[in-house]
Amino acid sequence: MVVRLIDSSSTTPRIAEVFSDHSILEAMLGFELSLARAEASLGVIPQDAARAIENAASPDLYNASALAADSLRSATPSIPFVKALTEQVKKIDASAAGFVHWGATSQDVADTAIILVLKKSRDILHEDLARLDHSLSQLSERHAKTPMLARTLLQAALPTSFGLKAAGWLGAIRRNHSRLHAAFQEALILQFGGAAGTLASLGDKGTKLGKALAQELGLGYPEAPWHTHRDRLAALMCALGVTAGSLGKMARDISLLSQNEVAEAAEPTAEGRGGSSAMPHKQNPVGCTLALASAYRVPGLVSTFLSSMVQEHERAVGGWQSEWATISAIVQATSLAAASMAEVAEGLTVNAVRMRENIAATQGTIFAERATILLANALGRDAARKIVEKAVQQSVASNGEFVEVLAEMPEVRKVLNAAILKDLQSPEGYLGVAEEFRRSLVNSKPRHNSPDRKP
């Protein structure tokens, strides 16, 4: 599908196709066709009627633009859609037209259609998150022993490893993937309740028919219709929102690491990727930019969905009617962020030399904590802290190395020998249990299976 220009920074062609007119029509027709088949199998409608409905169930037979225009007069696309389907069936078999949409209501069509679309989108999200998982695992393993500056409040803190940093991103992605899997599993259920959620027009066959319909569509069957109970969808939208936030966090980190003044990481380059319209020297972090744009947008959209949950009685005015556009925007933005960060991770350049240079540029002051601990064993914590603070101040003022300043202090020389002082500024010697944490994150397994195994 060709993405509209106005949507060019908020979706991908692949996920946009899932929410295209053709895909929505296909989902709505899928509901009506499966309903007719299930009803025919149970003797609710004639087999001939089901066959006629099947012959009319091609998206190419319908004018999506006309249906969209007519939706403004009915506050739902389902009503003009059912009317158009009925007219199409009438052309094939006039007697069959009376059995179109038998026992269902407009919200059954709309809700089940969006669920079927979400089922398609789940598979795309799964693929991109799996790509990202694989790439981050490789990055973490490759750079398990690559020291870099940890930064707190945007300032140089202590040494860490890039392997742990990448594993941190990986852990968040895996947790989000597991949450999404569970949320999709719960949300991918049939909506079929008839006019007021009782399927009264179907007599005692309502439940049996509903289960047969769910099986036809490959969806779960709920305990009861959920016309005004939107908690399952809300949980999925929230899970998508958290996922977009985690992807945005990763994008924020990488975009900061790619600043010229830092230069510790860089996005992949390609013809036309990341350039500037005015400055030929620039290589902009476009993948991170798109992911961050999504992370900015999605929280407000999730809030919009949560606001629409307060729906009246058995069928609502305005609540569920607001959801299609909101769901579409949330899913497409999150999918764009996942695809963008998968591309970034797959081609990320990590500059280990620059990481060491940036550690060295602190002139050893980031090891002040380590020095304090070593001195505290002999001098006490308060005395050690005062000595180290004085050494840091002198190092900064003189633009000298912290350890050299420290070594000139008589009280330090009394308790720390030359070998200890020489090793003080080794980043590998002050990583604590970073590698243990890294392995724990990398070796953790996502708590989900491939989405194509269950509804």
* Catalytic residue IDs: 276, 315
Please say whether the beta carbons of 189 and 158 come within 8 A. no
What 3-state class would DSSP assign to 149? strand
Inter-helix orientation angle 21-41/47-55, to 10°: 170
The neighbour count for residue 82, using CB atoms within 10 Å, is: 20
Q: Which token pair is 377?
A: 């064993």
Could you tell me what percentage of the chain is helix, strand and coil, using 3-state DSSP and rounding each to the nearest 5? 65, 5, 30
Per DSSP, what are the bridge partners of residue 160? 148
Q: Write the CA distances from 42 to 24, 53, 100, 444, integer angstroms.
A: 27, 16, 16, 48
Angstrom distance (rounded) from CA 63 to CA 81: 10
Q: Which token pair is 110?
A: 């709309």
The neighbour count for residue 398, using CB atoms within 10 Å, is: 11
Angstrom distance (rounded) from CA 264 to CA 256: 9
Backbone angles phi, psi at 350, to 5 degrees: -110, 120
The radius of gyration of the chain's CA atoms, rounded to the nearest angstrom, is 30
